[in-house]
Structure formats: C-alpha cells, structure tokens
Amino acid sequence: MPNTSSLDSIRPLRHLSIYLSGLVKGRLWLKVLVGMFLGLIVGTLLGPSVGLVEPETGTLIGNWLAFPGQLFLATIQMIVIPLVIASVVRGLAASENLEQLRKLGVRVTVFFVITTGIAASIGLWVGGLMNPGQMMKGLAIPDTPAPEATAMPSVMDLPQTLLGLLPGNPLDAMVEGQMLQVVIFSIIVGVALVSMAPEKSRPMLDLLDSLQQICMTVVRWAMRLAPFAVFGLMAQLTTTIGFKAMLGMASYVVTVLLGLLVLLAFYLIVLKLRAGEPPLRFLKDTRDVLLLAFSTSSSAAVMPLSIRTAEDKLGVRPSVSQFVIPLGATINMNGTALYQAVATVFLAQVYGIDLSMGSMALVVAMAVGASIGSPATPGVGIVILAMVLQTVGVPPSGIALIMGVDRILDMCRTAINVTGDLVTCRLMENWSGERLPPETSVESSGAK
C-alpha cells in the first residue's frame, strides 16, 4: 500500500516543476542566452572599451541595469532555507524505515565527499595541463578588494567545530544562513517524524506542505526575472571590467569549461558502469532541468524540477529523491570545487607562485570542506575561493581578475552540480535494488 504522506508531498512539488519545465520548453534558456548577449553589448558600449559615456555614468547605469539581477538573487536566497527544510523533512518522512534511512544517508554523504575530491583533482590536472595563467603574464592586476576569507580551524579546534555543526539555536542558523546546520536540523526533525505514529506526525507534515507551496509560489515569481537578471548582471560586469579584458580571460574560461566536460564524462561513465544507464538517454531525460540550472545559476531554484525529473524520468522513489536532491543542493558542489581548483592554479601562475604537491593536496581538501554547507545560490563560489587562495598563499586580491567572467562559469558549473545530484539519485536508487519504472509510479499516484 503506498505511503499516503509520501504521495501528498509529491503533488505541490509537481505543480511547480511542471511550471518550470514549461518555462524551459518556452525557450527560457534561449531568452537567458539572448539576455546575456545583449548584456555584453550594452556593457561594452557603456564600459571603458568603447567609452560612450563617462566611467562614473557607466557605473551608475550598470548598477541600475543590475537591479533585476540583484532582486532575483535576493529572492532565491530568501526562499532557500524554508524550501530546504520542507523538502528534507517531508522527504525523510516518506522513508520506509530508519534502517534504510541510515544506509542511504551514509552512502550519499560518502559519495558526495569522494566525487568532490575527484572534481577538485580534475581541476588541478586540467589547470596544470592548459597553463592558462601564462597568457596573463605582464598584465596589471586590478586592485579590487577580495571577498573576506575565513580561516580554517586547527586540529585542536576540530572537536568544537564538529559540535558546532549541531545547531544549538535553529533560528540563529536560519538567520545567519548556516545551510549545513539547517540541513542537520531538518534531518533530525525528519527522523523524529518517521519514528512517531502517523496520527501524531500528520499535523507537522500538513504544515510543511503549506510551507512548500508558499516557497514554490515565490520561486515561480523569481523565474520570471531570470532573463532580465542575466542581462543586467552581464551588463554591469562588462561595464566595470571592459570587453577586452574579458577576451583576455578566454584561456581561463576554456580551461574551466574543459574541466567541467571531463567531470561530466566521469559522471556518465560511473552511471553507465554502476547503474547501466545509457549516457545519451540520461542527458535527454535531464535536459530540461540542466538547461534551467544553467539559466538560473542556482541549484536551489531548480530543486523542485530536479526532484520531479528524478522521479518521473529516472524512476527514483520519492523517499530517495526528496532526501538526496535537497542534501545535494547543500553539500554537493563538485562543479564549484573543480572551478576553485582551476582558479587557484590560474592565479598562482599569474603571480608566479609554484604550488607544491602539499599545496595541491590542501587545495583538494579545502575545496571539499568549503563546498559542504555553502549556499546553493549564485556567486557563492567566489567567497569560498577567497578562503582557498588565502590558505595556499595566493593573494585573494587576484579574484578581481576572474570576477568579470564568473557569471558565465557560474552558470556552467551549476549545471554540473545539478547533474551530480541526479546521478547520485539514480545510483542510490539502483543500489537499493528497488528501482521504479520511469514515468509510471508518480503519474499513477497523482491519479488516485
């Protein structure tokens, strides 16, 4: 007999995911690409490359053009925490038993940590192979303040740091945006609901169902801003840095994109070997959600569509998808880890700093640790990168060099992050030995 609470938790997610899928079929990704292209043109005309207006005027216009983009980012960031809480708790409550939940949690966490380390290693390898920093030798490095970096805890402080992952005050964790603490709190609540009698847990699940629907309504509003957001942000960046400077970063962009393609190939090979999933069919089934992830640069924004794709297209049970996807949006930042490794190698080459094997190993460890708990919102990779650079002795002020092209790379690495979440869902479902036929179980449940 199907789990009634599980079926009820699917319906609100499906309403929003159908809407998001419709945006993609309505060529949202094309609108975003057009917006990005127009933003480059407008920013070039207003920026130092052409100089149609005074620099101060160009900066002022660029700031106003970026207003829709800043509004989009703020809206997504505002709704991420309640959406994660509702999705994780309801996903766990749909689980069959605690033993299955424990095994799934351990497997998912270990898989995320290993693949993030592999992604960072790929970034170091591709960066050393392509040597993109050599093309920037002799150029003046902009003196722009870098994002504030956070010092890593020492070994002596490690026990206290681990205890700090448990939110002593969940409301403080939500206010401060401590995503990992929020996820841990949600997991504890979800496990408690699984342990309770259905009649006792039902009121809380109904409340979270309403919270989910509120979040989805806000996300639906934010999606309407996506093309204008990309246009404004690209125009602002090009106005500030100039188009010629962005062209000078072509070698760095190509290196990151090559690394992301290698990581994508790794995912597809693992999926084929461990789950028997043909790569082309997987890409076809997940095309909509990957295009939307590319368009929005936020794995949190596409979370409902990711869950629906995993259930409808990949045959993943709700108890798996609604746990893995929100958790992956929080700790599975493989594309971001790869980007940080490439950026570290690139800036080290620009500054003439030789990274030792120990430094490279530290970069991998830092990329894995820093990715866990980072918000699933656009642009957060830059802040994490500042911490990684400071740890290995590369001046964080060099981040000013790559800020101009970060928006493009953010879109690409977000699509890879979402790919990793979906691959993990499929593998976890396969390892459980109870895979559902695609596009049958969820559809039939909705008809009941």
What CATH number has the domain bearing residue 287? 1.10.3860.10
Domain total for the chain?
1
**Count of alpha carbons within 13 angstroms of residue 411, beta-carbon side:** 19
Helix 4-25 × helix 287-296 angle, to 10°: 70
Task: Report the greatest alpha carbon distance in the chain.
Answer: 70
What pLDDT, on a 0 to 100 scale, did the predictor assign at position 416?
93
Say how far apart CA 133 and CA 336 lie, in whole Å.
19
Q: Which pLDDT belongs to residue 213?
A: 78
State residue 422's pLDDT score: 93
pLDDT band for 1, please (50, 70, 90 cuts). very low
What the block records as the tokens of 192 is: 């408690």
Q: Is the confidence at residue 222, as pLDDT, over 80? A: no
* pLDDT level of residue 441 (50, 70, 90 thresholds): very low
Average pLDDT of the chain to the nearest whole number: 75
Flag whether 9 is in a domain.
no
Residues 137-144 have a mean pLDDT of 48
Task: Kindly tell me if the per-residue pLDDT of 175 is higher than 70.
Answer: yes
Instruction: Give, to the nearest 10 degrees, the angle between helix 55-65 and helix 67-93.
Output: 30
In a domain, 276, yes or no: yes
pLDDT of residue 379: 54
Read off the tokens for 377: 């919102």
Residue range(s) defining the domain that contains residue 216? 17-447
Q: Is 248 domain-assigned? A: yes
The answer to whether residue 283 is domain-embedded is yes
Segment 288-301 shows an average pLDDT of 78
Mean local confidence (pLDDT), 345-362:
83
Q: How far apart are CA 426 and CA 309, in angstroms?
A: 11
Q: Averaged over 362-372, what is the pLDDT?
A: 71
pLDDT of res. 144: 43
> Of all residues in the chain, what percent carry a pLDDT higher than 90?
10
Residue bearing the bigger pLDDT, 107 or 446: 107
Cβ-Cβ contacts under 8 Å for 247 (sequence gap 6 or more)? none
Task: Identify whether 8 is part of a domain.
Answer: no
11 domain residue, yes or no:
no
Distance CA(407)–CA(233), nearest Å, equals 8
Question: Is the per-residue pLDDT at 12 higher than 70?
Answer: no
* Higher-pLDDT residue of 137, 44: 44
Which tops the pLDDT comparison, 368 or 349? 349
Residue 303 has pLDDT above 50, yes or no: yes
d(CA 202, CA 382): 42
Distance CA 431, CA 426 (A): 9
Who has greater pLDDT, 126 or 56?
Answer: 126
**pLDDT at residue 317 greater than cutoff 80:** yes
Residue 10 is assigned to a structural domain of this protein: no
Question: What Rg do the C-alpha atoms of the chain give, in angstroms?
Answer: 22
pLDDT surpassing 80 at residue 228: yes
Overall average pLDDT of the 317-335 stretch: 82
Over residues 233-241, mean pLDDT: 74
Q: Which is more confidently placed, 349 or 444?
A: 349
* Residue 38 confidence (pLDDT) above 80: yes
Q: Determine which of 34-43, 50-59, 355-364 has the lowest per-residue pLDDT on average.
A: 50-59
**Average pLDDT, integer, range 14-19:** 67
Inform me whether the pLDDT recorded for 61 exceeds 60: yes
Q: Please give the residue that has the higher pLDDT: either 197 or 115.
A: 115
For residue 444, pLDDT beyond 80: no
Does residue 12 form part of some domain? no
Give this prediction's pTM: 0.67
Q: Look up residue 168 and give its DSSP letter.
A: S
The larger pLDDT score, comparing residue 434 to residue 162, is at 162
pLDDT higher than threshold 50 for residue 352: yes
The reported pLDDT for the residue numbered 214 is 82
Give residue 282's pLDDT band: very low, low, confident or very high (50, 70, 90): very high
Q: Six-digit token pair at 45?
A: 């005309």
* Token couple for 328: 């992956």
Cβ atoms of 266 and 293 closer than 8 Å: no
